[in-house]
Amino acid sequence: MKIKAIVLAIALGLASTAAMADDMERGILAFLKGDNETALQVFRPLAEHGNKEAQYYVGYMYQSGIGVSQNNAEALRWYELAAKQGHDSASVQAKVVSRTLKN
What is the domain partition of the chain in residue ranges?
2-102
Q: How many residues does the chain have?
A: 103
Helices (H) and strands (E) in the chain, counts: 5, 0
**Can you give the pTM of this predicted structure?**
0.79
What residues contact residue 62 under an 8 Å CB cut-off, 6+ apart?
Answer: 68, 70, 71, 72, 74, 75, 78
Give residue-wise pLDDT tens across range 14-35.
444 544 568 899 999 999 999 9
> What is the C-alpha to C-alpha distance for residues 38 and 59, in angstroms, rounded to an integer?
16
CATH architecture of 2-102: Alpha Horseshoe (1.25)
> What is the C-alpha to C-alpha distance for residues 51 and 61, in angstroms, rounded to an integer?
15
Give residue-wise pLDDT tens across range 35-77.
999 999 999 999 999 999 999 999 999 999 999 999 999 999 9
